[in-house]
A and B are shown apart, each in its own frame.
Chain A
């Protein structure tokens, strides 16, 4: 298979995975396995499938896609293969935004209601933007990659501490945040699907349109500038897309680790390509990964379920370790 046709094959495979995963996702749940087609005959089963399983399956795929996209954008923007959406303070900012919104609303009940949870998206997006703004201010712009990475780490720690303080003040909020922090695709309804799909469309189009800038940036800042690329404006737009994707994912599903980091890595390993393809494939890969993790989280200890964030942390951490080991082995000779 030539390097040129691989991305197409991978895209088709990932879409097929999403379809199969979605179909399984509608069938599996706390009431056990039911063929999605058979569910139509039973009013209760149909309602479970339509109101609970289908939206949460969609949310799982969308959250993974948003994180995968954000990861591909972050890694391209900062020319750092270890960058992920949690860099730049965007995820910690989003989480702080959610915590503040919960405190403002007076506690845990809010987290359970679909439409209220939708309101959290706005808070998370505002928090993500504030986090990014703070990081950029500390780094004095985006010109220096290392300064930006360091500022992102500092902002992440400080905003994380602020979130701890805010949640400690109210036991109800603490409890709500605990579930949120572990990352979960449960309790997500159709409103969440709509918001996430819109965020994915907007940030995806931005990233696709600026794919060439990301390709140029891969050759270094100076080369990109020598090619006449509008770096300032493009960077702002890409940071915006990154914050939007991260904020939308974090607001609906909490902190789900490693998907944003692993998805672009897997894509690059299978089908290295230009950033326009990489961004698209990373979104598809992220969606497939989180959908699979969500199915596993629901099925492993049914009728109980694992928080999906715990599962992705385990799987993603293992993948990262393997990656480090492999790099160490490959790099050992030189």
Chain B
């Protein structure tokens, strides 16, 4: 299987601190890889470095060709990136914002082609954002905006997609829709790399990249016990992973041995009722 992306010695320093500490990773084409790890593990920075939107050391090969060797627009058509909590463009109509995903396809000053309009239409339908196409982004809720930004990413129609926290602000039904979307993308032979905080969702991926302190500590399919063990380890054993109906369900542990606040936290001025039925395990 060819590699969609291959990084060697990828390192990023921000403000004198090494955020990414020499990552070597190969991401196979046509697969969905989820990146997980605790806050500050370097997940977003890894995606930004792969996308080439942050200065970094080390090399990135995009489809077995150095990323720098690609012409900018050609690279943009091949590798698309959706940033974490992307903002801006609130004054733009949803249609126009999603059309920005077609910039790498459009000629200088040329009007959008039929293919551009078809791609935008398809992307808006794929994220159920079609109904808002005439509205401005600023008039939408957080979850609705996220679906529009996802549509912007899809409109690029790139074979390699990097998504940083694509599920942010999405409700459960739309998270499920996203899951179906990503699976169909992978089935079409496209490569998806997504940073996910929803560990249960990440364990549905073809492969999981487990990160901690700027390094990749494990890379493997979720079916492997070693992968799930690595996930538990980087989260300080503060979660349990159970198989339920063919999927992995992640249950947070409210307290680990030695973690002090065993008693319920008290709020000043709040007196709990005497015999409230608690939900303590």
Q: Which residues of A contact B (CB under 8 A)?
A: 2-4, 79, 209, 212, 215-216, 218-223, 225-230, 268, 272-274, 278
Contact = CB atoms under 8 A, between A and B. Distances in A.
A220 B88 contact: yes
Given A209-B109, A223-B86, A228 B54 contact: no
Nearest to A277: B96
Contact of B96 (A221, A222, A223, A274): A274
Given A216-B103, A220-B86, A3 B75 contact: no
Contacts of A222: 48, 51, 53-54, 81, 83
Most buried by A among B48, B88, B109, B156: B88
A230 B89 contact: no
Contacts of A2: 134
Interface string B95-118: 011001101101011000000000
Interface of B: 48, 51-54, 72-77, 79-81, 83, 86-89, 91-93, 96-97, 100-101, 103-104, 106, 108-109, 134-136, 138, 152, 156
Contacts of B91: 218, 268, 272-273, 278
B83 A215 contact: no
B88 A227 contact: no
B53 A216 contact: no
A4 B77 CA distance: 28
Contact of B93 (A4, A228, A229, A268): A4
Nearest to A211: B109
A302 B99 CA distance: 52
Contact of B72 (A4, A228, A278): A228
A16 to B, nearest CB: 24
A268 B137 CA distance: 13
15 contacts: A4-B93, A215-B96, A219-B97, A220-B83, A222-B48, A222-B54, A226-B80, A227-B101, A227-B104, A228-B73, A228-B75, A228-B103, A228-B104, A272-B91, A272-B93
A215 B104 contact: no
A227 B76 contact: yes
Given A209-B109, A220-B83, A272 B89 contact: no
A229 B108 CA distance: 11
A273 B97 CA distance: 10
A222 to B, nearest CB: 4
Given A212-B103, A215-B100, A226-B79, 6 more contacts: A215-B92, A218-B91, A219-B97, A219-B100, A227-B156, A229-B72
Contact of A219 (B75, B76, B89, B106): B89
Contacts, number: 85
Contacts of A218: 88-89, 91-92
A226 B103 CA distance: 10
A72 B188 CA distance: 42
A226 B104 CA distance: 9
A268 B93 CA distance: 12
Contacts of B134: 2-4
B51 A227 contact: no
Given A3-B135, A222-B53, A229 B103 contact: yes
B81 A226 contact: yes
B51 A226 contact: yes
Contacts of A225: 52-53
Nearest to B75: A228
Contacts of B81: 222-223, 226
Most chain B CB neighbours (cut-off 10 Å) among A222, A227, A272: A227
Contacts of A229: 72, 103
Contacts of B72: 228-230
Contacts of B104: 227-228
B109 A227 contact: no
A278 B109 CA distance: 16
Contact of B76 (A220, A221, A226): A226
Contacts of B92: 215, 218, 272-274
Contacts of A273: 91-93, 96
B96 A219 contact: no
A205 to B, nearest CB: 11
B133 to A, nearest CB: 9
A6 to B, nearest CB: 10
Nearest to A264: B91
Given A215-B100, A219-B86, A3 B48 contact: no
A283 B135 CA distance: 24
A227 B89 CA distance: 15
B14 to A, nearest CB: 13
A164 to B, nearest CB: 38
Given A3-B134, A222-B48, A225-B53, A215 B89 contact: yes
Contacts of B108: 209
A227 B98 CA distance: 12
Contacts of A272: 91-93, 136, 138
A216 B72 CA distance: 15
Contacts of A226: 51-53, 76, 79-81
A53 B131 CA distance: 51
Given A3-B135, A215-B96, A223-B81, A79 B101 contact: no
